[in-house]
Amino acid sequence: MKLNIALLAGDGIGPEVINQAVKVVDAVAVKFGHEVNWTEGLTGAAAIDAVGEPYPDSTHEICMAADAVLFGAIGHPRFDNDPKATVRPEQGLLKMRKKLGLYANVRPTFTFPSLIDNSPLKRERIEGTDLIILRELTGGIYFGERGRKDDGNTAFDTCTYTREEIQRLAKLGFEMAMTRSKKLCCVDKANVLESSRLWRETVQDMEKDYPEVQVSYEFVDAVAMRLVQWPSSYDVIITENLFGDILTDEASVISGSMGLMPSASKGVHTSLYEPIHGSYPQAAGKDIANPLATVLSAAMMFEDAFGLKEEAEAIRAVVNKSLAEGIVTEDLAGKEGKAYKTSEVGDWLATNV
């Protein structure tokens, strides 16, 4: 099979972790007889520095022509520390989501048996956790009207959703629930927000089409609490953009490290696969960043974009083997273990595929 993949390394540790994923994907391609065609594109601060635009048209054309996008990270502190900057790396991410139609961020949350005690949460609370959070990506407060008034002393950000946007995400949630434990939780703030009331009303209207799915409705503050108290009670969670952004990062502590969690962004045109961690600029260039989330994102890409489940399982198996044998970067090595470099972990994974 010929796999055409757009490669967007981005900023910070993005290029380092992406390089390890490329090693593993290439090794899997050799093992299973596939041909991989990589096409690199600029995005984020790297693109701003090169062409003045965080998601240039040339990069968009590369993504549109690809079967899938493998993405690193976006962000740089020089923009974070300048509130008056008019062009920011994150604008490129939002533009990419909008232009590619990346409407649903799929974030699985699960535990690794060999690392379960690395989590700050008690073993008995998180053991057996296997849930998916679906976050809507192209609507809500991140894309609504925003601005300043009263001579800049008042700021506003508007949260807007259409019924169609909600239905599109909820349909994916219901379908995922049907393949899993047939439980779906819609997270909102319907006691306060009109947009949340539209979410709840829309999902309630869809329940009749999926009679086997047990649907619950919970306020976001209650879910934020239950995620760290009883995460195994959830199966598929659907929610809007801002709530999903916060809840998915909170859920990452269950695994013990943000450096372990992959994600997919389902697209109308081309889907994108990326680790959930940020650009972590403090570690950039030091060869210490954990590449496993990016490698596991590549596994999601094999299964979701190409329907190659055996290849995806081969990647997950070698990642689990690396964790069990302690072939890990410093964030997972602990005081007693040996810390391997990012590149060393990538080499080991590719060799052991």
Which residues have a catalytic role annotated?
A: 142, 189, 221, 245, 249
Place of tokens 């959830």: 234
The one-letter code for the residue type at 160 is T
Pick from 298, 252, 281: nearest CA to 79: 281
CA distances from 108 to 143, 185, 264 (A): 24, 15, 9
